[in-house]
Each structure stands twice: as C-alpha cells, then as structure tokens.
Amino acid sequence: MKKGLLDTIKSRGYWRINFEPLVDAKKFKRLAECREAVEKASISFRGWDYPHIPRRMDDDDNVAAGDNYYEGWTNWWNHIEFWRMYQSGQFLNYFAVHEDWLELEGWDGLLGRQKQTPAVKPKGVLNIIGGVVYQLTEVFQFLSRLTAAGVYDEGVRVSISLHNTEGRKLWTGDFMRHLFQEYKTQLDTIEFSNTFTREEILTKPKECAFQAVIYIFERFGWDNPPHGTINQDQENLINRRF
C-alpha cells in the first residue's frame, strides 16, 4: 500500500468493512486466488466498482501481494480506498467518506449550484442515498458473490464501522428529496456487527444491507426513516435505474 494512504483515509470520515469466516481454515490455497476472488466478486452498479479494482498500476492505483494476502488501493479525487483479502478468507476494507473530499477541485461549489444546497465541507454531512443506502447495498452484494464462490460456506461475521462522525448531519444530496428536520449524531464512531448464515447472504443480501442501513440512521436520531423508499433505492441501484 502507498505510504501514508491509510493516514489520509483516517484524517476525515471513513468506513471500515470486515468479513470474517466462522471457521479457522485456509480458504485460498494459492496466494493469487485472494486477488482473483475480489476481482470476480467486485460490484459495479453506478460507474465505480466496489471494492475498486486498480487498473493503472502506479503509486496511486495498484495491487500487491503480501505474505498471506493480496491488497489493492486507490487515491483518486474522493475515491480513497484500501482493501486486503487474506488466504483465511478475511476481507478488510477502509475507504473515505466521499462527501468529505468533494471540496477538491471546486466540486463542492459545483454541487452547490447544481443541487441548490450549501457547499459540502469535510466532516459535515453524510449522504443518505449514495453514501449509506447504495454503499451498504454494494457491500452486501459483493459479500453475496464471495459467498456464492464458496468463501463463507460456514457463515460470516460482518463488522461495519463509520468513523469521525461526531456532529455530522444526514444529507440527501438531492434538492428533490428533503429531510423535514435535522438529524445529527453525537457519536464519533458508529459500529454495526452481526453474524449471517450462508443462506441469508445468498438469498437476502438486500435485506441484510437494509439492517445495517437502518442501524446507521438510528444513530443519527432518525428513528422512522421511510422503509419503502429505502427498499426502492436499493432496487434502483441493483437494477441500475437512476
């Protein structure tokens, strides 16, 4: 990984995603299988893949082998990400909250004019649609593909945490969709963790993601988010209806 990249990710809001097999066994006999598993399972619903598979192979966008893992990283505009797949089947991923980096190259001002919202500043907001609903739906769709490939036949423990959130507000990012009151968290870290069976991940990845989405929103004080709208957002993403 590029030196200092993880420090950059942690300097503002960031997500930490961890999948852990429920058995202690080597899931990938060959080291290269770690990379291949991530590449084959990567999701691309909205023009940027999750997790991102590096293509340029330079300091800012690359993959590399470790002792018992493969890792990939990227640092481009607001896409700042690092992932690692271990031979044990454990998957670890850190990525920046995209909203916190919109200020680069004047994009916050551009969004402000287009969306008729204030300029987006670091550590200020969390996009409820693209930053939570879409993002977590992609995480579980990726997990479902890994599970279908046999990585988590015995089940999987999923840990999702959101960091540097104290004082952050929920934001729609769309002037056509309004929140009728302010939802802000006093927590600096929000952590969701649950164990899922193979069958749950294979047959209900959208519903598993929904659990995590609601959990996050509740920690912002949004106790009654519209379940039907969230479900429709998930369907729109999966079916690429934007």
Looking up tokens 């929904």 gives 210
Q: Read off the pLDDT band of 125 (50, 70, 90).
A: very high
Q: Assess whether pLDDT exceeds 70 at residue 53.
A: yes
Residue 157's domain comprises 5-238
Strand blocks (E) in 164-233: 169-171, 189-196
Write out the two tokens for 70: 């493969």
Chain-wide mean pLDDT for the chain?
93
Cβ contact 73:5 at 8 Å: yes
Q: How many domains does the chain have?
A: 1
pLDDT band at 104 (very low <50, low <70, confident <90, very high): low
Strands (E), 1-153: 14-21, 61-65, 69-76, 79-86, 91-96, 125-127
Q: Specify whether the backbone of 155 is left (phi greater than 0), alpha (psi in -120 to 50) or beta.
A: left
Name the pLDDT band for 117 (thresholds 50, 70, 90): very low
pLDDT surpasses 70 at 108: no
Provide the pLDDT confidence category of residue 180 given band limits of 50, 70 and 90: confident
Let me know: does 179 contact 172? Beta carbons within 8 Å: yes
Q: Quick one: which of 135, 141, 190, 9 has its CA closest to 83? A: 9
Could you give the CA distance from residue 138 to residue 42 in angstroms, rounded to a whole number? 9
Beta-bridge mates of residue 58: 61
Beta carbons within 10 angstroms of residue 1's beta carbon: 16
Question: Count of CB atoms within 10 A of residue 21's CB?
Answer: 19
Amino acid found at 9: I
CA 230 – CA 116 distance, rounded (Å): 23
